[in-house]
Amino acid sequence: MSRLDYVVLLVTVLGIALYGMWRTRGGTDLRGYLRGSEQSRWLAIGLSVMATQASAVTFLSTPGQGFESGLGFVQIYFGMPLALILIATVFLPRYRRLHVYTAYEYLGQRFDTKTRLLGAGIFLLQRGLGAGITLYAPAIVLSTVLGWRLDLTILCSGLVVIVYTVSGGSEAVNVTQKYQIGVIFAGMLAALVILVTKLPPGLSLPDAFAVAGNFHRLRAINFSPDPRERYTFWSGMLGAPFLMLAYFGTDQSQVQRYLSGASLRESRLGLMFNAVFKIPMQFFILLLGVLLFVFYQFERPPVYFNEVAWHEHAAGSEGARASAVEAAFAAAHQDERAGLKAWVDARHRGDTAGADKAVAAATAARARVDAARQEARHLVDPQGTTNDTDYVFIGFILNHLPHGLIGLLVAAFFAAALSAKAAELNALGSASIVDVYQHVIRPQASDAHYLMVSKRLTVLWGVVSVSFALSATLAENLIQAVNIIGSIFYPIMLGLFIVGFFLRWIGGTAVFWGALAAQALVICLFVLGKSLPRYEISYIWFNPLGCAACVVFSALLQGTLRRPVNAGELAPTA
């Protein structure tokens, strides 16, 4: 990175944070701190919801996923439009009508205190466990490739996000997210345009698609009914809607974003904005990865994309083996490139026989390339715990983009990390103060007291995040672990709300114990899958299974319990 890149990076990241603090200067009351000005329009809400979901990992790792596996990951978002319509019509009007600060307040009003605390507890546990990941994951990648100190990268980004989130609360998060997502979109669009211009001369976009298609990178839809396959049409249409319902409908980090809307209409339109644009956004990020794959068919990539780790091994005791792998990779890549060039030329001439012959040669060479890369991975990480595809996009940025734009892209990654982290801290602080402190520990105190405690709790969660990030060692393992933990807890949370909204004859005690039983079932399924891999199913299926179990167990328990005396009060009376 040049001096220009550092200027762009610092001005962008710090400028947005300082602007957020300036816009929210002068203090606010508790309501304003937790819900913002409640004047947000639909576009601001839509961008805020989008920025909260898309962390730096989305923009760093998803192109790598497109590079490695193609477009298939987009299927996980198939459930989103339906889920967001359901949230806009069922969840959102209830939250707004009850004037809740957190989603879990609804559980308290519909059921009882213990169910509210169960919901808030699940959220705090799940988000608390993942607290450091949104900071750690981009920091490990960026510090490795840029040669920065990991601890300083985490500390600096953690400090920035804590300061502006605590200073301006929910409003500061809303204000900054608008500009952060703008920087992210500008950076990603610039990278996509430059990547297209860097494809070899004579290779048109249809040619590039044909190359990608030959290596199965454009297989976006997979109709396989195998539940062990993670991303399929069926898991996207039947399993993912539950995951999306749980995340957007019950996770406070999202609920807080759309509750800041000026009206029900603005909040609804903000959600519909995401329902329309999330799939195209993910498609283009994955397509960027696919085009990177095509680019690296004609431009020799490193054998292992985390070049720092590779050079460390190459310089060590296994240097000879690393050199052999590198030589095999270079020869295979050269053959593959020659085969693909011959294929493209034959296609342009309309020579079908020549094209078939060339593509067969390129495919054979590709198998050798993959084998060499596999060996390189095994050399660097014999346990297979890390994934070098996270370094594909950042490697391209540093080696192939002009200065200035490099700074903008790195700023985009930081902007994504900060926007997701700020929403998370804001939500953790809100749930801690509203559902635990104000409700259980100290119910009678002034707003000024709650505001002060709320800020301290946000700082506390920020310190927990930074400490966790500083003590983390294996990024990929941790990310996977946190995703799995999320999939274990989310379905039960959704089950609580589904019972609350649709099964009005079920009371708090039944749903509380039903949820705990369903949670035990999901944990058993997870442990069974890990112990006996042939019974392992994709984590996406935990969502419908866990939610259904929560509903069924609650209904069965309610049947065995005495019917709630005051059940009638739950029915609409006007």
**Using the 8-state DSSP alphabet, how is residue 300 labeled?**
P
Identify whether the C-beta of residue 286 lies closer than 8 Å to the C-beta of residue 71. Answer: yes
Return the range that interacts with another protein (CB under 8 A); candidates 104-112, 241-249, 331-339, 529-537. 104-112
Q: Which member of 508, 514, 544, 546 binds another protein (CB under 8 A)? A: 508
Residue 374 binding another protein, by CB under 8 A: no
Return the range that interacts with another protein (CB under 8 A); candidates 51-59, 105-113, 164-172, 431-439. 105-113
Residue type, 184: I
Return the range that interacts with another protein (CB under 8 A); candidates 78-86, 168-176, 292-300, 377-385. 78-86
**Kind plus residue range of the DSSP H or E element containing 389:** none
Residue 395 binding another protein, by CB under 8 A: no
The two counts, helices (H) then strands (E), for the chain are: 24, 0
Distances (CA, A) of 141 to 6, 281, 287, 476, 566: 17, 23, 21, 11, 56
Which residues 525-564 are close enough to bind another protein by CB under 8 A? 564
What single string gives the DSSP state of each residue in 461-476? HHHHHHHHHHH---HH
For another protein, the closer CB: 71 or 551: 71
Torsion angle, CA of 527/533/534/537, rounded to 10 degrees?
A: 60
Q: Which member of 2, 39, 113, 334 binds another protein (CB under 8 A)? A: 113
Comparing C-alpha atoms, which of 202, 396, 374, 373 is closest to residue 290?
396
Residue 515 binding another protein, by CB under 8 A: no
CA distance 75 to 392: 22
Identify whether the C-beta of residue 95 lies closer than 8 Å to the C-beta of residue 304. Answer: no
Residue 566 binding another protein, by CB under 8 A: yes
Comparing C-alpha atoms, which of 180, 165, 175 is closest to residue 33?
165
Q: Which member of 22, 38, 68, 109 binds another protein (CB under 8 A)? A: 109
Identify whether the C-beta of residue 286 lies closer than 8 Å to the C-beta of residue 65. Answer: yes
- The token pair that represents 54 in the structure block: 């898309």
**Kind plus residue range of the DSSP H or E element containing 65:** helix 56-69
Return the range that interacts with another protein (CB under 8 A); candidates 28-36, 260-268, 330-338, 357-365. 260-268
Residue 108 binding another protein, by CB under 8 A: yes
Cβ 62 to another protein, closest distance in Å?
A: 16
- The token pair that represents 43 in the structure block: 């576009």
- The token pair that represents 129 in the structure block: 């466990």
- Other C-beta atoms lying within 10 Å of the C-beta of residue 473: 8
For another protein, the closer CB: 74 or 103: 74
Please calculate the CA angle 278-283-289 and round it to the nearest 5 degrees.
Answer: 135
For another protein, the closer CB: 247 or 512: 512
Write the interaction track for another protein spanning residues 148-187; mark x where CB under 8 A is met and - where it is not.
----------------------------------------
Which residues 262-281 are close enough to bind another protein by CB under 8 A? 263-265, 268-269, 272, 275-276, 279-280
- Other C-beta atoms lying within 10 Å of the C-beta of residue 336: 22
Q: Which member of 15, 25, 43, 89 binds another protein (CB under 8 A)? A: 89
For another protein, the closer CB: 154 or 362: 362
Cβ 74 to another protein, closest distance in Å?
A: 7
Residue 218 binding another protein, by CB under 8 A: yes
Identify whether the C-beta of residue 147 lies closer than 8 Å to the C-beta of residue 537. Answer: no
Binding residues for another protein, total number by CB under 8 A: 48
Return the range that interacts with another protein (CB under 8 A); candidates 258-266, 406-414, 423-431, 489-497. 258-266
For another protein, the closer CB: 112 or 299: 112
Residues that bind another protein (CB under 8 A): 71, 74, 78, 81, 84-85, 88-89, 93, 97-98, 108-114, 209-210, 212-214, 216, 218-221, 263-265, 268-269, 272, 275-276, 279-280, 283, 507-508, 564, 566, 569-570, 572-574
